[in-house]
A and B are shown apart, each in its own frame.
Chain A
Amino acid sequence: DGGITQSPKYLFRKEGQNVTLSCEQNLNHDAMYWYRQDPGQGLRLIYYSQIVNDFQKGDIAEGYSVSREKKESFPLTVTSAQKNPTAFYLCASSIVTDFTGELFFGEGSRLTVL
């Protein structure tokens, strides 16, 4: 089945540690996105990528880093510079030029800082 796979589902981190969240898609989509979801707030865009080896900062990129070495993969690293990393992280993908098309989401990864 086509879709987006995020792992791990739950992740615990000690302060000062970097952690990497995985996102893999088999939809053959060029564009991929990372969002952060906090209680009582709308989803906020962290990073996005429209093509391999290229990515752009979203609205809240500070303390995060990404890579896009393969079309299928868009991992997100939450660095120790992110002051409040506890959140629900969602990866998404889309066809770049279909602006009225679907934006598909993964099942999310919940990161908790201990």
Chain B
Amino acid sequence: KNQVEQSPQSLIILEGKNCTLQCNYTVSPFSNLRWYKQDTGRGPVSLTIMTFSENTKSNGRYTATLDADTKQSSLHITASQLSDSASYICVVSASRSFQKLVFGTGTRLLVSP
């Protein structure tokens, strides 16, 4: 069964600190992996999209890594800000179509002042 598991489920960090969110997947075949940020009560917004051949991708203070061999990805947030408080969702594509996206349940991050 295609699954995406994220850890931790929730996380609280102090403003200015770094953090890393984890995503493990058992999706096959693999097409690409996405990270989304979702503010409470809002729609998800794309942070990064990585294909099989990409190991690292950055978007400002957000850096995603992908290890296709171990089927793991991480999202590293540097110098956190209060506005980083949100849920972060890992999404893996099981084929070359959007109809086969497998969504994780997300990590809820709270950045405390």
Contacts and interface: CB of A to CB of B under 8 A. Distances in A.
Contacts of A58: 99
Nearest to B100: A45
Contacts of B4: 42
A41 B105 contact: yes
A96 B86 CA distance: 29
Interface stretch (B11-19, B40-48, B70-78): B40-48
A31 B97 CA distance: 11
Interface residues of A, number: 28
B40 to A, nearest CB: 10
Given A42-B4, A44-B103, A101-B49, 6 more contacts: A42-B102, A58-B99, A88-B41, A94-B98, A108-B41, A108-B42
Nearest to B44: A105
A102 interface: yes
A111 to B, nearest CB: 13
14 contacts: A31-B98, A42-B89, A42-B103, A42-B104, A42-B105, A42-B106, A43-B89, A99-B97, A100-B51, A103-B34, A105-B43, A107-B43, A108-B41, A110-B41
Contacts of B80: none
Contact of B32 (A31, A92, A99): A99
A33 B101 CA distance: 12
For chain B, which range describes its interface: under 10, 10 to 19, 20 to 34, or 35 or more residues? 20 to 34
Interface string A82-109: 0000001010101000011111111110
Interface in B23-37: 31-32, 34
B45 A105 contact: yes
B43 A99 contact: no
Interface in A18-54: 31, 33, 40-45, 48
B96 interface: yes
A103 B99 contact: no
